[in-house]
C-alpha cells in the first residue's frame, strides 16, 4: 500500500511541475525555461528518490513481521495438507524473541 501511495504522490509532483511550467510559458514569464528544465529533471529525480525512500523503508521494517512471500509459502503449505497448528507453532517460535 505504501508503494502505491508513494507512486501517486510522485506522479502528482511531476504533473504539477509540468502544469506550472505550461502556465508560466502561456503567461510569457521569463522563468518558463527554468521551470521546464526543472520539470525534466524532476521527471528523473522524483522516481529515483521515491525508489530510494521505499528501499530504505523496507530495510528499516524488514523484521517487523511476516512478509508477503512468507505468507504465500505458508498458504501453499496449508493447501498441501500440512497441519495449520504445526505451522502456527513454527511461526510463534520464529517471532518469540521479537516480543
Q: Cα separations (Å) of 70 from 25, 38, 60, 74, 76? A: 52, 42, 18, 6, 10
* Per-residue pLDDT tens over the stretch 75-87: 899 899 988 898 8
Contact between 17 and 42 (Cβ < 8 Å) = yes
Give the C-alpha separation, 64 to 17, whole Å: 36
* Per-residue pLDDT tens over the stretch 26-76: 888 888 888 888 888 888 888 898 889 888 887 887 766 777 778 888 889
* DSSP SS3 for 13: helix
* Per-residue pLDDT tens over the stretch 6-28: 888 888 988 888 888 888 888 88
Cβ of 10: how many Cβ atoms within 10 Å? 19
Looking at residues 3-8, what average pLDDT do you find?
A: 83
Global confidence as pTM: 0.53
Ranges of each domain in the chain:
1-62, 65-99
Contact between 13 and 46 (Cβ < 8 Å) = yes
Q: Does residue 99 have a pLDDT over 60?
A: no
Three cell numbers at 77? 503449505
Amino acid at each position: 500500500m505504501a508503494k502505491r501511495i508513494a507512486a501517486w504522490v510522485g506522479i502528482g509532483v511531476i504533473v504539477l511541475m509540468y502544469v506550472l511550467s505550461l502556465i508560466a510559458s502561456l503567461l510569457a514569464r521569463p522563468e518558463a525555461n527554468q521551470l521546464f528544465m526543472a520539470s525534466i529533471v524532476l521527471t528523473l529525480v522524483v522516481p529515483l528518490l521515491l525508489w530510494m525512500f521505499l528501499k530504505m523503508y523496507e530495510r528499516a521494517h524488514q523484521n517487523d513481521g511476516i512478509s508477503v512471500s512468507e505468507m504465500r509459502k505458508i498458504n501453499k503449505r496449508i493447501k498441501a495438507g500440512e497441519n495449520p497448528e504445526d505451522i502456527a507453532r513454527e511461526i510463534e517460535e520464529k517471532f518469540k524473541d521479537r516480543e
